[in-house]
Amino acid sequence: MSKILIVEDEIIIRTALRKLLIRNKYDVVETGSVAEATKQKIDTFDLIVSDLRLPGAPGTDLIKLAGDVPVLIMTSYASLRSAVDSMRMGAVDYIAKPFDHDEMIAAVKRALGKAAKPASAAAIKKKGEEKDTPIEGMIGSSAIMREVYGKIHKVAPTSATVLVLGETGTGKELVANAIHTESPRKDKPIISVNCAAIPETLIEAELFGHEKGAFTGAASNREGLVAAADGGTLFLDEIGELPLEAQARLLRVLQEGEVRPIGSTESRKVDVRLVAATHRDLGKLAREGRFREDLYFRINVVQLRLPPLRERGKDILLLAETFIKRFCTEMMRPALSLTPEAIQAITTYPWPGNIRELENAMQRSVILCDNDTEIDHTHLAIDHELVRVDETPDTPSKSSRPTQDSSGDDANEDLSLEDYFQRFVLEHQDHMSETELAKKLGVSRKCLWERRQRLGIPRRKPTQGKKTSA
């Protein structure tokens, strides 16, 4: 028999809840505040059902104190936002007051079911310490990306719904897959659906299935994609495009753990973890009545925001070089490097199509490059109008023009270029003269000398006669 601790200060609700749970064969202990609850041996309970607003400390304080024991938060309907906050803090679920009996029992059963898996709130805390090790298949070690990795590791093992936000080509699908593979659901399927790609009239049937004869053309019963994802993960890309009727059915899946095919009177139990992605502002759509607010709250439990490529500093060059290496291997070409001009173009171009655009541009340049050593900026099929050109003493204002919004990122972008400069000099100074180095780097000798001073890599005294050829 599962043992449940009730924490609720309103006597009427507390008594009703106790009776309900006892009737459903649960063992119950009731308390009226967090302080009272902590006098109990908390780890002997299987579940805590707590009001959010209590005299003294709020119910969410129990989440930390409860360790492995899941906490189900009750809250008045008006404070849906705080309910979502409590989920972020690790509550297993929330239920709005007033609730009907069936709803409460369903929520309790779900919460107890979830607790059996390593997907409890405790798992979030434990995994959280794993920090920011890279995600398989994702390149990048900038601080902003390490933060993203940390969040993925933290949220993946839980069953929390995740909303992945980011511009096109920033890796949203990659992240959804990583969340699945790092979760206890990894041996079950991940089903990915692009809501924008399926016609509005078909999407409900695709997702939720249909009965034979439910509509013209429904020749037989058909299982939907939600049911196919049972036990696994459902990735809904471009969720902002989901029609309102389909949103209502999806809400039911999330809230009740049930799917009802079109034309059917019966529901089937499903256990899916939802990862959703969008490049739209769902909050705004919800305010405009174009997205269900209750669904928005359910989805917006954990947000993962992928930064655009132009904000990833050094990662841009790292990604570019990795892609070049990969395409050279694929095309069985000798390894190609980038000329300084190409590097400057790559690190200052704003990459509106993000990593996908960079990947394609590198592939094209490996194909187009007609020599066996270097990719030049002319090989890059990008809009050079958007590239920022550095003014070195040698290249007096070559149609220099700043990118539209490069101001905030200049530091990062310069850093990439300087890193490259430094690396190049350190690697080659032993076997190249200053003139050769400067030529390779595409700068004047004066500029090379200045940069050496600035970067703290002063020129070494030549030791051999031949190195003084400059």
Ligand X SMILES: Nc1ncnc2c1ncn2[C@@H]1O[C@H](COP(=O)(O)OP(=O)(O)OP(=O)(O)O)[C@@H](O)[C@H]1O
State the residues that interact with ligand X by CB under 6 A: 138-140, 166, 168-174, 279, 355-356, 359
166 binds, among ligand X, Mg ion, none (CB under 5 to 8 A by kind): ligand X
Which residue, 168 or 435, is less far from Mg ion as judged by CB?
168
CA gap 200, 50 in Å, rounded? 41
Among 10, 130, 167, 173, binds Mg ion (CB under 5 A): 173
Closest CA to 104 of 178, 20, 46: 20
Structure tokens at 121: 């709130």
Tell me if the bond preceding 458 is cis, omega within 30° of 0: no
Burial 117-147 (b: 16+ CB within 10 A, else e): eebbbbbbbebeeeebeebeebbbebeebee
Q: Which does 333 bind (CB under 5 to 8 A by kind): Mg ion, ligand X, none?
A: none
Work out what residue 168 binds among ligand X, Mg ion, none; the CB cut-off runs from 5 to 8 Å by kind: ligand X
Which of Mg ion, ligand X, none does residue 138 bind to, with CB < 5 to 8 Å depending on kind? ligand X
Report DSSP state, residue 210: B
User: Do the Cβ atoms of 234 and 278 come closer than 8 Å?
Assistant: no
Q: Which of residues 269-288 bind Mg ion (CB under 5 A)?
A: none
Residues that contact Mg ion, how many (by CB under 5 A): 2
For tokens 């209750």, the residue is 294
SS3 214: coil
Shortest separation between residue 361's beta carbon and ligand X, angstroms: 12
CB 311, min distance to ligand X, A: 13
- Report the residue closest to Mg ion, judged by CB: 173
- Least distance in angstroms from the C-beta of 177 to ligand X: 8
Contact 82, 297 (CB under 8 A): no
Confirm or reject binding of residue 132 to Mg ion (CB under 5 A).
no
Which position's Cβ is nearest ligand X?
171
Nearest alpha carbon to residue 3 among 30, 32, 38: 30
CB of 329 to ligand X, least distance (A): 16
- Beta carbon of residue 173, minimum distance to ligand X (angstroms, whole number): 3
Instruction: Say which entry of ligand X, Mg ion, none residue 257 contacts (CB below 5 to 8 A, set by partner kind).
Output: none
Kindly list the residues in this chain that would bind Mg ion in the complex (CB under 5 A). 172-173
